[in-house]
Amino acid sequence: MASPKSKKLSAPKNELPPGRRDGSNAKPRPSPARPGSLYNAAEVHEIFRRFSVQRPEPKGELEHVNAFTLLVAVVLSAQATDVGVNKATRALFKVADTPQKMLALGEARVGDHIRTIGLWRNKAKNVIALSQALIRDLGGEVPDNREQLVELPGVGRKTANVVLNMAFGQHTMAVDTHILRIGNRLGLAPGKTPEQVEQGLLRIIPDEYMRHAHHWLILHGRYVCKARKPDCPACVIADICKAQEKTTDVPAPLVELAPLGPPDEIQ
């Protein structure tokens, strides 16, 4: 397999380096993929190409059996770990994997199942309320569009983006704490709010990588570019990264990784 360092990163042929556009002798600078990003289009492409080699088929780590249980799991995952949510939902989804069954189970018994998850009382209310809304307004089906999803109790933009991406294969970017950090730390898509980072990433990530980009960035942030201390020697994009905190320019070997075990960090 070719070494990651062997690929020369340059702007696409039809883009002149900005420093030479006026014919001056100014030192050429890489052309940004889009305003705000520190990376040119070729660099962004190479970052995601490497992520795709590491994890050709990344999976979300929240267990679910259909779009409804995915929606419930994501609602429950706010301020909770995926592993904690999975422990609670394994038994819950065995008895209630549709809005109708969830409603029949009732708020008190849903609460019993999810008592180990933070904010469980409020979440039990929301799970029942969103089941009611799905049955009443949407024929019991999880909608495949953001407008209807964010109308459901307990469902915000991030939850809607996760469901649209994972259940319906749409090219959305759900910005969690890891992606917010990476967007800013690397200067990939700087922004003060999750929505600014979301819009920046949507603008620069090539279409061919959008299906899995959300998972790649979350996994990179969770296991390598960690909040307190990024593990730069283990990072396959260390030669491209422009983060001030990075500790090496030498990228880790680019190999396909074994599937991950359960996560243990707060989302």
Q: Could you give the CA distance from residue 232 to residue 247 in angstroms, rounded to a whole number?
A: 6
117 touches ligand SF4 by CB under 6 A = no
146-205 residues in contact with ligand SF4 (CB under 6 A) are 185-186
Other Cβ atoms less than 10 A from the Cβ of 94: the count is 10
Is 246 within 8 Å of 45 (Cβ atoms)?
no
Residue 144 bears catalytic tag: no
Is 212 within 8 Å of 52 (Cβ atoms)?
yes
Residue 91, amino acid:
A
Between the CA of residue 237 and those of 188, 217, 234, 257, what are the distances in Å? Answer: 12, 12, 9, 15
263 touches ligand SF4 by CB under 6 A = no
Closest separation in Å from C-beta 260 to ligand SF4: 17
Residue tagged active-site, from 158, 207, 226, 242: 158
241 touches ligand SF4 by CB under 6 A = yes
Closest separation in Å from C-beta 243 to ligand SF4: 4
| Binds ligand SF4 by CB under 6 A, chosen from 11, 162, 213, 224 | 224
| DSSP string over 68-97 | HHHHHHHHHTTTSBHHHHHHHHHHHHHH--
Could you say which DSSP state residue 7 is in?
Answer: S
The count of chain residues that interact with ligand SF4, using the rule CB under 6 A, is 14
Residue 59 bears catalytic tag: no
Residue tagged active-site, from 8, 176, 242, 246: 176
Stretch that binds ligand SF4, among 113-121, 134-142, 173-181, 231-239 (CB under 6 A): 231-239
246 touches ligand SF4 by CB under 6 A = yes
Active site residues: 158, 176
